[in-house]
Amino acid sequence: MTDRRLLLISNGSELIGDNPSEFFHAALKDFLGAAARRVLFVPFAAVVHSEDGYRDRVRRHFGPLGYEVESLHEASDARAAVEGADAIAVGGGNTFKLLRGLYEAGVVELVRERVAAGTPYVGWSAGSNVACPTIRTTNDMPVVEPPSFDALNLVPFQVNPHYTDYHPPGHMGETRDERLAEFVHMNPGVRVVGLREGTMLRVEGDRVKLLGGKPARHFLKGEEPRDLAPEESISFLLQG
């Protein structure tokens, strides 16, 4: 049994964008509750925009919900910041840069330990992908090279954020399904969840719930990809 608590979101625009949805803000507040007042934000996925600006944008949305946001990039002691946080929020952007930043800060194992002990973890886009065993199901370009593709390993399955099965007419490139089929072919036994926009996974101990009213797509070698309905029991994803 584990005390892990995670909220893994496909896209952060409905949480911290210009037009956030009440549903996403309510889901965040319900997940964090009243006890987690000090949220440590990890902005390392930012590339073009500054980490200061990213921190400020998160503060504008988390603050009115009752949460104080500190940012890991300005901490004089990264490990102490992780140790002192009531909750950890990891933003989207470029997954490779995010993971490199976590390794450079020396907090990969510490974040894993804190989340296993019950510290709430909120991730969106790259922040969801980095919660997986590896980042090898990201959609991002490797603009930098982290020391390893091994990620936080907070859950035993992989997430593919921004999942879509739309194939534009005339587009000759691979579909997302084809790319994920290649991944599971090369990684037998590893499950992948394609998270559509507007959806999230809430993990509580050994239970997983899909939120957002849309299905997710499940991939596993030897099985046909299939949709997971929001009302379906999907806790089998945690069976390592």
Q: Is 125 a catalytic residue?
A: yes
Amino acid code (one letter) for 17: G
Pair type for strands 87-90 and 216-219: unpaired
In the chain (240 residues long), the average pLDDT of successive 10-residue segments reads 90 91 96 94 97 97 96 97 98 98 98 97 98 98 98 98 85 86 98 97 97 97 96 91
pTM for the full predicted model: 0.96
Q: Among residues 86, 162, 177, 235, which one is catalytic? A: 162
16: region left, alpha or beta (phi > 0 left; psi from -120 to 50 alpha): alpha
As a whole number of Å, the CA-based R_g of the chain is: 17
* Host H or E run for residue 83: helix 78-84
Q: What is the pLDDT of residue 35?
A: 85
Q: Among residues 10, 13, 125, 128, which one is catalytic? A: 125
* Host H or E run for residue 192: strand 192-196
Q: Is 18 a catalytic residue?
A: no
Q: Is 140 a catalytic residue?
A: yes
Q: What is the pLDDT of residue 172?
A: 67
Distance between CA 49 and CA 68 in Å, rounded? 22
Q: Which two tokens stand for residue 72?
A: 């890991």
Q: Which CATH architecture has domain 5-162+196-216+227-238?
A: 3-Layer(aba) Sandwich (3.40)
Q: Which two tokens stand for residue 13?
A: 């625009």
Domain ranges of the chain: 5-162+196-216+227-238
Place of tokens 């901490």: 75
Q: Among residues 10, 61, 128, 140, which one is catalytic? A: 140
